[in-house]
Protein backbone atom coordinates (compact mmCIF):
# COMPACT_ATOMS: atom_id res chain seq x y z
CA UNK A 1 0.00 0.00 0.00
CA UNK A 2 1.32 3.43 -0.99
CA UNK A 3 0.17 6.21 1.35
CA UNK A 4 0.18 9.95 0.74
CA UNK A 5 0.45 12.04 3.92
CA UNK A 6 0.18 15.79 4.38
CA UNK A 7 3.41 16.95 6.11
CA UNK A 8 1.71 20.18 7.20
CA UNK A 9 -0.98 18.44 9.23
CA UNK A 10 0.19 14.84 9.52
CA UNK A 11 -3.11 13.66 8.05
CA UNK A 12 -3.39 10.81 5.55
CA UNK A 13 -4.47 12.08 2.13
CA UNK A 14 -5.03 8.87 0.20
CA UNK A 15 -3.93 5.25 -0.07
CA UNK A 16 -3.11 3.42 -3.28
CA UNK A 17 -2.95 -0.32 -3.95
CA UNK A 18 0.30 -1.59 -5.45
CA UNK A 19 -0.02 -3.59 -8.68
CA UNK A 20 0.57 -7.33 -8.47
CA UNK A 21 3.73 -8.91 -9.93
CA UNK A 22 1.68 -10.40 -12.78
CA UNK A 23 0.16 -7.03 -13.61
CA UNK A 24 3.60 -5.42 -13.66
CA UNK A 25 4.94 -8.06 -16.04
CA UNK A 26 1.99 -7.60 -18.37
CA UNK A 27 2.33 -3.83 -18.37
CA UNK A 28 6.04 -4.05 -19.08
CA UNK A 29 5.40 -6.23 -22.12
CA UNK A 30 2.84 -3.71 -23.34
CA UNK A 31 5.38 -0.92 -22.79
CA UNK A 32 7.79 -2.71 -25.09
CA UNK A 33 5.13 -3.09 -27.76
CA UNK A 34 4.23 0.58 -27.48
CA UNK A 35 7.90 1.55 -27.81
CA UNK A 36 8.37 -0.51 -30.97
CA UNK A 37 5.56 1.42 -32.64
CA UNK A 38 6.57 4.79 -31.18
CA UNK A 39 10.15 4.61 -32.42
CA UNK A 40 8.81 4.65 -36.00
CA UNK A 41 6.89 7.90 -35.58
CA UNK A 42 8.04 11.17 -37.13
CA UNK A 43 9.50 13.89 -34.97
CA UNK A 44 6.65 16.17 -36.01
CA UNK A 45 4.15 13.72 -34.50
CA UNK A 46 6.10 13.49 -31.26
CA UNK A 47 6.45 17.27 -31.06
CA UNK A 48 2.73 17.81 -31.58
CA UNK A 49 1.90 15.55 -28.65
CA UNK A 50 4.60 17.10 -26.47
CA UNK A 51 3.13 20.55 -27.09
CA UNK A 52 -0.26 19.20 -25.98
CA UNK A 53 1.42 18.12 -22.75
CA UNK A 54 2.82 21.62 -22.40
CA UNK A 55 -0.64 23.15 -22.81
CA UNK A 56 -2.15 20.73 -20.29
CA UNK A 57 0.48 21.72 -17.74
CA UNK A 58 -0.30 25.39 -18.25
CA UNK A 59 -4.07 24.91 -18.04
CA UNK A 60 -3.86 22.90 -14.81
CA UNK A 61 -0.95 24.71 -13.20
CA UNK A 62 -2.74 25.67 -9.98
CA UNK A 63 -4.16 22.18 -9.51
CA UNK A 64 -0.76 20.53 -9.81
CA UNK A 65 0.84 23.11 -7.50
CA UNK A 66 -1.81 22.32 -4.90
CA UNK A 67 -1.10 18.59 -5.18
CA UNK A 68 2.59 19.22 -4.49
CA UNK A 69 1.75 21.45 -1.53
CA UNK A 70 -0.48 18.81 0.00
CA UNK A 71 1.78 15.80 -0.59
CA UNK A 72 5.26 17.17 0.11
CA UNK A 73 4.78 20.68 1.47
CA UNK A 74 6.05 22.78 -1.43
CA UNK A 75 4.92 26.42 -1.09
CA UNK A 76 2.15 27.01 -3.61
CA UNK A 77 3.97 29.80 -5.47
CA UNK A 78 7.03 27.58 -5.85
CA UNK A 79 4.79 24.80 -7.15
CA UNK A 80 3.44 27.02 -9.91
CA UNK A 81 6.99 27.99 -10.84
CA UNK A 82 7.90 24.30 -11.05
CA UNK A 83 5.07 23.66 -13.50
CA UNK A 84 6.23 26.61 -15.62
CA UNK A 85 9.66 25.02 -15.84
CA UNK A 86 8.08 21.74 -16.95
CA UNK A 87 6.31 23.65 -19.72
CA UNK A 88 9.66 25.10 -20.76
CA UNK A 89 11.40 21.73 -21.04
CA UNK A 90 8.51 20.22 -23.03
CA UNK A 91 8.48 23.12 -25.48
CA UNK A 92 12.27 23.14 -25.74
CA UNK A 93 12.55 19.51 -26.82
CA UNK A 94 9.47 19.70 -29.02
CA UNK A 95 11.27 22.43 -30.94
CA UNK A 96 14.86 21.20 -30.92
CA UNK A 97 14.97 17.40 -30.59
CA UNK A 98 14.75 16.63 -34.30
CA UNK A 99 17.69 18.87 -35.17
CA UNK A 100 19.76 17.58 -32.25
CA UNK A 101 19.28 13.97 -33.35
CA UNK A 102 20.04 14.42 -37.03
CA UNK A 103 22.64 11.96 -38.37
CA UNK A 104 26.19 13.28 -38.12
CA UNK A 105 28.27 12.92 -41.30
CA UNK A 106 31.91 12.08 -40.65
CA UNK A 107 34.49 11.92 -43.45
CA UNK A 108 36.59 8.73 -43.44
CA UNK A 109 38.09 6.44 -46.09
CA UNK A 110 34.60 5.02 -46.67
CA UNK A 111 32.36 6.15 -49.50
CA UNK A 112 30.02 7.33 -46.78
CA UNK A 113 30.16 7.20 -43.00
CA UNK A 114 27.90 8.74 -40.43
CA UNK A 115 26.50 8.42 -36.92
CA UNK A 116 22.82 7.93 -36.14
CA UNK A 117 21.02 8.37 -32.83
CA UNK A 118 18.39 5.65 -32.42
CA UNK A 119 16.08 5.25 -29.40
CA UNK A 120 17.34 2.79 -26.83
CA UNK A 121 14.06 1.32 -25.55
CA UNK A 122 11.95 1.54 -22.41
CA UNK A 123 13.76 3.56 -19.73
CA UNK A 124 13.08 3.15 -16.00
CA UNK A 125 12.91 6.55 -14.29
CA UNK A 126 13.26 6.42 -10.49
CA UNK A 127 12.34 9.89 -9.34
CA UNK A 128 12.42 11.82 -6.01
CA UNK A 129 9.80 13.75 -4.09
CA UNK A 130 11.45 17.15 -3.85
CA UNK A 131 10.58 18.33 -7.37
CA UNK A 132 7.86 15.78 -8.15
CA UNK A 133 6.89 17.22 -11.55
CA UNK A 134 10.12 18.79 -12.80
CA UNK A 135 12.35 15.77 -12.14
CA UNK A 136 10.01 13.57 -14.16
CA UNK A 137 9.56 15.95 -17.08
CA UNK A 138 13.24 16.76 -17.44
CA UNK A 139 13.73 13.05 -18.20
CA UNK A 140 10.45 12.26 -19.95
CA UNK A 141 10.44 15.16 -22.42
CA UNK A 142 13.79 14.34 -24.06
CA UNK A 143 13.28 10.60 -23.59
CA UNK A 144 9.98 10.48 -25.41
CA UNK A 145 11.13 12.90 -28.10
CA UNK A 146 14.10 10.60 -28.74
CA UNK A 147 11.65 7.74 -29.36
CA UNK A 148 11.95 5.91 -26.04
CA UNK A 149 9.27 4.67 -23.65
CA UNK A 150 9.21 5.56 -19.96
CA UNK A 151 8.35 3.61 -16.83
CA UNK A 152 8.05 5.94 -13.83
CA UNK A 153 8.75 4.68 -10.32
CA UNK A 154 8.10 7.82 -8.29
CA UNK A 155 8.84 8.49 -4.63
CA UNK A 156 6.26 6.79 -2.43
CA UNK A 157 5.20 9.99 -0.66
CA UNK A 158 4.03 11.75 -3.88
CA UNK A 159 1.72 9.19 -5.51
CA UNK A 160 -0.87 11.82 -6.42
CA UNK A 161 1.74 13.70 -8.43
CA UNK A 162 2.74 10.48 -10.20
CA UNK A 163 -0.87 9.67 -11.09
CA UNK A 164 -1.41 13.20 -12.39
CA UNK A 165 1.67 13.05 -14.62
CA UNK A 166 0.63 9.77 -16.22
CA UNK A 167 -2.82 11.25 -16.81
CA UNK A 168 -1.27 14.25 -18.59
CA UNK A 169 0.48 12.03 -21.14
CA UNK A 170 -2.60 9.89 -21.66
CA UNK A 171 -4.91 12.84 -22.25
CA UNK A 172 -2.38 14.46 -24.59
CA UNK A 173 -2.71 11.45 -26.87
CA UNK A 174 0.55 9.58 -26.29
CA UNK A 175 0.18 5.88 -27.12
CA UNK A 176 -1.23 3.75 -24.33
CA UNK A 177 1.44 2.11 -22.16
CA UNK A 178 4.27 4.26 -23.63
CA UNK A 179 4.48 6.31 -20.43
CA UNK A 180 3.43 4.37 -17.35
CA UNK A 181 3.43 5.12 -13.65
CA UNK A 182 4.09 2.16 -11.34
CA UNK A 183 3.00 2.84 -7.76
CA UNK A 184 5.35 0.41 -6.04
CA UNK A 185 7.73 0.42 -3.10
CA UNK A 186 11.48 0.79 -3.55
CA UNK A 187 12.10 -2.86 -2.67
CA UNK A 188 10.49 -3.86 -5.98
CA UNK A 189 12.80 -1.77 -8.17
CA UNK A 190 15.23 -4.66 -8.67
CA UNK A 191 12.49 -6.65 -10.39
CA UNK A 192 11.98 -3.85 -12.89
CA UNK A 193 15.68 -3.52 -13.63
CA UNK A 194 15.94 -7.27 -14.22
CA UNK A 195 13.08 -7.34 -16.73
CA UNK A 196 14.31 -7.54 -20.34
CA UNK A 197 11.92 -4.80 -21.40
CA UNK A 198 13.87 -2.24 -19.36
CA UNK A 199 16.94 -1.20 -21.36
CA UNK A 200 18.35 1.45 -19.01
CA UNK A 201 17.60 3.36 -15.82
CA UNK A 202 17.91 6.90 -14.53
CA UNK A 203 17.71 7.83 -10.88
CA UNK A 204 17.60 11.13 -9.06
CA UNK A 205 17.97 10.63 -5.34
CA UNK A 206 20.39 9.82 -2.56
CA UNK A 207 23.89 8.46 -3.05
CA UNK A 208 22.82 5.29 -1.23
CA UNK A 209 19.95 4.71 -3.66
CA UNK A 210 22.23 5.47 -6.58
CA UNK A 211 24.75 2.86 -5.51
CA UNK A 212 22.02 0.22 -5.21
CA UNK A 213 20.55 0.93 -8.65
CA UNK A 214 23.98 1.13 -10.28
CA UNK A 215 24.99 -2.20 -8.75
CA UNK A 216 21.86 -3.98 -9.92
CA UNK A 217 21.90 -2.42 -13.38
CA UNK A 218 25.61 -3.17 -13.72
CA UNK A 219 24.98 -6.87 -13.14
CA UNK A 220 22.38 -6.72 -15.92
CA UNK A 221 24.72 -4.69 -18.18
CA UNK A 222 22.19 -1.88 -18.42
CA UNK A 223 23.16 1.74 -18.65
CA UNK A 224 22.38 4.13 -15.80
CA UNK A 225 22.33 7.88 -15.32
CA UNK A 226 22.55 9.06 -11.72
CA UNK A 227 21.86 12.54 -10.32
CA UNK A 228 22.56 12.15 -6.63
CA UNK A 229 23.10 14.30 -3.57
CA UNK A 230 25.03 17.51 -3.31
CA UNK A 231 26.66 19.76 -0.76
CA UNK A 232 27.20 22.76 -2.96
CA UNK A 233 29.90 25.22 -1.83
CA UNK A 234 29.45 28.94 -2.47
CA UNK A 235 32.76 30.82 -2.33
CA UNK A 236 32.37 34.37 -0.98
CA UNK A 237 35.57 36.25 -1.80
CA UNK A 238 36.73 39.50 -0.20
CA UNK A 239 35.66 41.59 -3.21
CA UNK A 240 32.12 40.18 -3.51
CA UNK A 241 29.15 42.53 -3.82
CA UNK A 242 27.57 41.42 -0.55
CA UNK A 243 24.10 42.83 -1.22
CA UNK A 244 23.69 40.78 -4.40
CA UNK A 245 25.67 37.85 -3.01
CA UNK A 246 23.59 37.37 0.14
CA UNK A 247 20.35 37.68 -1.82
CA UNK A 248 21.48 34.91 -4.20
CA UNK A 249 22.72 32.76 -1.31
CA UNK A 250 19.48 33.01 0.66
CA UNK A 251 17.36 32.34 -2.41
CA UNK A 252 19.38 29.24 -3.21
CA UNK A 253 19.55 27.92 0.35
CA UNK A 254 15.78 28.19 0.81
CA UNK A 255 14.70 26.82 -2.57
CA UNK A 256 12.01 24.22 -1.94
CA UNK A 257 12.28 24.88 1.81
CA UNK A 258 15.95 23.91 1.60
CA UNK A 259 15.23 20.51 0.04
CA UNK A 260 17.18 20.74 -3.20
CA UNK A 261 20.27 18.87 -4.36
CA UNK A 262 21.67 22.06 -5.87
CA UNK A 263 20.84 24.42 -3.02
CA UNK A 264 23.73 26.40 -1.60
CA UNK A 265 24.73 24.45 1.48
CA UNK A 266 28.30 25.35 2.45
CA UNK A 267 29.13 29.07 2.47
CA UNK A 268 32.91 29.27 2.25
CA UNK A 269 33.62 32.86 3.29
CA UNK A 270 36.92 34.72 3.28
CA UNK A 271 37.56 36.07 6.79
CA UNK A 272 37.75 39.70 5.67
CA UNK A 273 33.99 39.76 4.98
CA UNK A 274 32.79 36.89 7.15
CA UNK A 275 31.17 38.87 9.97
CA UNK A 276 29.33 41.19 7.62
CA UNK A 277 28.21 38.26 5.47
CA UNK A 278 26.95 36.32 8.51
CA UNK A 279 24.92 39.25 9.81
CA UNK A 280 23.32 39.91 6.43
CA UNK A 281 22.65 36.20 5.98
CA UNK A 282 20.95 35.93 9.37
CA UNK A 283 18.85 39.04 8.73
CA UNK A 284 17.57 37.81 5.38
CA UNK A 285 17.02 34.20 6.45
CA UNK A 286 15.11 35.40 9.51
CA UNK A 287 12.82 37.55 7.35
CA UNK A 288 11.50 34.60 5.35
CA UNK A 289 8.01 33.48 6.31
CA UNK A 290 7.42 29.85 7.32
CA UNK A 291 3.95 28.29 7.41
CA UNK A 292 1.13 26.60 5.50
CA UNK A 293 2.37 25.95 1.94
CA UNK A 294 -1.10 26.80 0.60
CA UNK A 295 -0.61 30.37 1.83
CA UNK A 296 0.63 32.51 -1.08
CA UNK A 297 2.90 34.55 1.22
CA UNK A 298 4.74 31.55 2.68
CA UNK A 299 8.33 31.00 1.49
CA UNK A 300 9.28 28.04 3.72
CA UNK A 301 6.89 25.12 3.99
CA UNK A 302 7.25 21.99 6.10
CA UNK A 303 9.88 19.40 5.38
CA UNK A 304 8.48 16.63 3.21
CA UNK A 305 8.35 14.03 6.00
CA UNK A 306 8.67 14.05 9.78
CA UNK A 307 11.58 11.59 9.77
CA UNK A 308 13.50 13.83 7.36
CA UNK A 309 12.89 16.83 9.63
CA UNK A 310 14.13 14.89 12.64
CA UNK A 311 17.26 13.69 10.82
CA UNK A 312 17.98 17.27 9.77
CA UNK A 313 17.70 18.49 13.35
CA UNK A 314 20.08 15.80 14.54
CA UNK A 315 22.67 16.97 11.99
CA UNK A 316 22.33 20.50 13.36
CA UNK A 317 22.64 19.34 16.99
CA UNK A 318 25.66 17.19 16.22
CA UNK A 319 27.38 20.08 14.42
CA UNK A 320 26.79 22.40 17.38
CA UNK A 321 28.09 19.75 19.78
CA UNK A 322 31.28 19.60 17.71
CA UNK A 323 31.84 23.36 17.83
CA UNK A 324 29.54 25.08 15.36
CA UNK A 325 27.77 28.22 16.59
CA UNK A 326 24.03 28.55 16.07
CA UNK A 327 23.42 32.09 14.82
CA UNK A 328 19.74 31.56 13.95
CA UNK A 329 17.08 28.88 14.39
CA UNK A 330 18.15 25.39 15.28
CA UNK A 331 15.04 24.43 17.26
CA UNK A 332 12.02 22.35 16.23
CA UNK A 333 8.86 24.50 16.44
CA UNK A 334 6.10 23.48 18.82
CA UNK A 335 3.45 23.92 16.13
CA UNK A 336 2.15 20.78 14.35
CA UNK A 337 3.65 19.76 11.04
CA UNK A 338 7.13 18.74 9.87
CA UNK A 339 8.46 22.29 10.07
CA UNK A 340 12.07 23.35 10.57
CA UNK A 341 13.07 27.01 10.80
CA UNK A 342 15.62 28.89 8.74
CA UNK A 343 18.88 28.15 10.52
CA UNK A 344 22.40 29.58 10.25
CA UNK A 345 25.44 27.81 11.67
CA UNK A 346 28.73 29.69 12.02
CA UNK A 347 32.25 28.41 12.70
CA UNK A 348 31.55 25.20 10.79
CA UNK A 349 34.63 23.04 10.34
CA UNK A 350 35.90 19.72 9.09
CA UNK A 351 34.34 16.64 10.67
CA UNK A 352 30.99 18.26 11.45
CA UNK A 353 27.85 17.00 9.71
CA UNK A 354 27.26 20.51 8.34
CA UNK A 355 30.67 20.29 6.64
CA UNK A 356 30.80 16.65 5.58
CA UNK A 357 27.20 15.65 4.87
CA UNK A 358 24.37 16.85 2.66
CA UNK A 359 22.10 19.08 4.75
CA UNK A 360 18.68 18.71 3.12
CA UNK A 361 16.74 21.52 4.71
CA UNK A 362 16.82 25.30 5.41
CA UNK A 363 20.19 25.26 7.20
CA UNK A 364 23.12 27.41 6.08
CA UNK A 365 26.65 26.42 7.13
CA UNK A 366 29.27 29.20 7.20
CA UNK A 367 32.86 27.97 6.88
CA UNK A 368 35.52 30.68 7.47
CA UNK A 369 38.69 30.65 5.35
CA UNK A 370 41.70 32.94 5.04
CA UNK A 371 41.91 33.50 1.30
CA UNK A 372 40.99 32.35 -2.22
CA UNK A 373 43.40 29.41 -2.17
CA UNK A 374 41.94 28.00 1.02
CA UNK A 375 38.40 28.68 -0.21
CA UNK A 376 38.99 26.52 -3.28
CA UNK A 377 40.56 23.77 -1.16
CA UNK A 378 37.60 23.71 1.24
CA UNK A 379 35.08 23.84 -1.60
CA UNK A 380 36.62 20.74 -3.16
CA UNK A 381 37.04 18.97 0.18
CA UNK A 382 33.81 17.04 -0.27
CA UNK A 383 32.66 13.66 -1.51
CA UNK A 384 30.03 15.51 -3.56
CA UNK A 385 30.43 17.37 -6.83
CA UNK A 386 27.07 18.57 -8.13
CA UNK A 387 27.17 22.37 -8.10
CA UNK A 388 29.32 25.26 -6.90
CA UNK A 389 29.36 29.04 -7.15
CA UNK A 390 31.87 31.83 -6.65
CA UNK A 391 31.08 35.46 -5.87
CA UNK A 392 33.52 38.23 -6.78
CA UNK A 393 33.42 41.61 -8.50
CA UNK A 394 36.29 40.41 -10.72
CA UNK A 395 34.41 38.26 -13.23
CA UNK A 396 37.62 37.07 -14.91
CA UNK A 397 38.80 35.82 -11.53
CA UNK A 398 35.47 34.10 -10.97
CA UNK A 399 35.53 32.51 -14.40
CA UNK A 400 39.03 31.15 -13.81
CA UNK A 401 38.02 29.59 -10.51
CA UNK A 402 34.75 28.16 -11.85
CA UNK A 403 36.19 26.79 -15.08
CA UNK A 404 39.50 25.44 -13.83
CA UNK A 405 39.45 24.84 -10.08
CA UNK A 406 36.03 23.86 -8.73
CA UNK A 407 35.25 20.14 -8.76
CA UNK A 408 31.58 20.06 -9.73
CA UNK A 409 29.39 19.51 -12.76
CA UNK A 410 27.74 22.94 -12.62
CA UNK A 411 29.77 26.00 -11.66
CA UNK A 412 28.28 29.49 -11.59
CA UNK A 413 29.79 32.95 -11.11
CA UNK A 414 27.82 35.63 -9.24
CA UNK A 415 24.61 33.60 -9.50
CA UNK A 416 23.07 30.66 -7.72
CA UNK A 417 23.21 27.22 -9.34
CA UNK A 418 20.12 26.19 -11.32
CA UNK A 419 19.20 23.83 -14.14
CA UNK A 420 18.31 25.03 -17.63
CA UNK A 421 17.05 22.90 -20.57
CA UNK A 422 19.70 24.54 -22.78
CA UNK A 423 22.63 23.47 -20.59
CA UNK A 424 23.85 20.02 -19.48
CA UNK A 425 23.15 19.18 -15.86
CA UNK A 426 24.77 16.55 -13.65
CA UNK A 427 27.51 15.84 -11.16
CA UNK A 428 30.77 14.07 -10.46
CA UNK A 429 32.14 12.08 -7.51
CA UNK A 430 29.31 10.90 -5.22
CA UNK A 431 26.88 13.27 -6.92
CA UNK A 432 26.57 10.79 -9.77
CA UNK A 433 27.39 10.60 -13.47
CA UNK A 434 25.86 11.30 -16.84
CA UNK A 435 24.13 14.46 -17.96
CA UNK A 436 20.52 15.54 -18.29
CA UNK A 437 19.12 18.41 -20.39
CA UNK A 438 20.55 20.08 -23.52
CA UNK A 439 21.63 17.87 -26.42
CA UNK A 440 23.91 15.96 -24.06
CA UNK A 441 20.94 14.77 -22.01
CA UNK A 442 18.94 13.95 -25.11
CA UNK A 443 21.71 11.61 -26.26
CA UNK A 444 22.18 9.78 -22.95
CA UNK A 445 19.53 7.19 -23.83
CA UNK A 446 20.07 6.60 -27.52
CA UNK A 447 22.12 4.11 -29.48
CA UNK A 448 24.95 6.17 -30.93
CA UNK A 449 25.43 4.03 -34.01
CA UNK A 450 28.24 4.14 -36.55
CA UNK A 451 27.21 3.45 -40.16
CA UNK A 452 30.06 2.76 -42.64
CA UNK A 453 29.45 2.30 -46.37
CA UNK A 454 32.23 1.30 -48.75
Structure confidence by residue, pLDDT tens digits, 250-263: 999 999 999 999 99
pLDDT of amino acid 378: 98
- Summarize pLDDT for 63-77 with one digit per residue, the tens: 999 999 999 999 999
Residue 433: pLDDT over 90: yes
Average pLDDT, the chain: 98
- Are the CB atoms for 72 and 158 separated by under 8 Å? yes
Residue 126: pLDDT over 90: yes
What is the pTM for the complete model shown?
0.97
What pLDDT band is residue 356 in, cutting at 50, 70 and 90? very high
What pLDDT band is residue 222 in, cutting at 50, 70 and 90? very high
- Neighbouring-strand partners of residue 200: 123, 223
pLDDT of amino acid 335: 86
Q: Which of 166, 227, 436, 444 is catalytic?
A: 227
- Are the CB atoms for 97 and 142 separated by under 8 Å? yes
Q: Is 191 left (phi over 0), alpha (psi -120 to 50) or beta?
A: alpha
What pLDDT band is residue 283 in, cutting at 50, 70 and 90? very high
Give the residue-averaged pLDDT of 431-447.
98
User: Can 227 be counted among the known catalytic residues?
Assistant: yes
Q: Which of 86, 90, 261, 411 is catalytic?
A: 261
Residue 148: pLDDT over 90: yes
pLDDT of amino acid 145: 98
What pLDDT band is residue 226 in, cutting at 50, 70 and 90? very high
- Are the CB atoms for 319 and 350 separated by under 8 Å? no
Give the residue-averaged pLDDT of 338-359.
98
**What 3 state SS string does the chain have?**
CEEEECCCCCCEEEEECCCCHHHHHHHHHHHHHHHHHHCCCCHHHHHHHHHHHHHHHHHCHHHHHHHHHHHHCCCHHHHHHHHHHHHHHHHHHHHHHHHHCCCEECCCCCCEEEEEEEECCEEEEECCCCCCCHHHHHHHHHHHHCCCEEEEECCCCCHHHHHHHHHHHHHHCCCCCCEEECCCCHHHHHHHHHCCCEEEEEEECCHHHHHHHHHHHHHCCCEEEEECCCCEEEEECCCCCHHHHHHHHHHHHCHHHHCCCCCEEEEEEEHHHHHHHHHHHHHHHHCCCECCCCCCCCCECCCCCHHHHHHHHHHHHHHHHCCCEEEECCCCCCCCCCCCCCEEEECCCCCCHHHHCCCCCCEEEEEEECCHHHHHHHHHCCCEECEEEEECCCHHHHHHHHHHCCCCCEEEECCCCCCCCCCCECCEECCEECCECHHHHHCCCEEEEEEEEC
Residues in Cβ contact with 130 at an 8 Å cutoff, skipping those fewer than 6 apart: 72, 256, 259, 260, 261, 304
pLDDT of amino acid 213: 98
**Domains in the chain: ranges and CATH:** 2-228+431-453 (3.40.605.10), 232-420 (3.40.309.10)
Give the residue-averaged pLDDT of 231-243.
98
Amino acid sequence: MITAMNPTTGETLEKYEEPSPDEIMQRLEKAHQAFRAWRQTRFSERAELMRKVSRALTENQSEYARTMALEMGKPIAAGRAEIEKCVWVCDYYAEHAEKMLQPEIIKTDARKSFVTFNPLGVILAIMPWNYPFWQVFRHAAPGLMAGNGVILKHASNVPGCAVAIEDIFKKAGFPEYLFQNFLISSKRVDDLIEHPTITAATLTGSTTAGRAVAEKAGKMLKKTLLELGGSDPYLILEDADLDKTVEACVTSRLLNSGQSCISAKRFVVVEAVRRQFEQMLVDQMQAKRMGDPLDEAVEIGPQARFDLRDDLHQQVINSITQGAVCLLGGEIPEDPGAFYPATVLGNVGKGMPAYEEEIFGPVAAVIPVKNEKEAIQVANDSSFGLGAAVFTRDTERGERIAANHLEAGNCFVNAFVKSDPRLPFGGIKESGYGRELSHYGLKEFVNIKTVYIQ
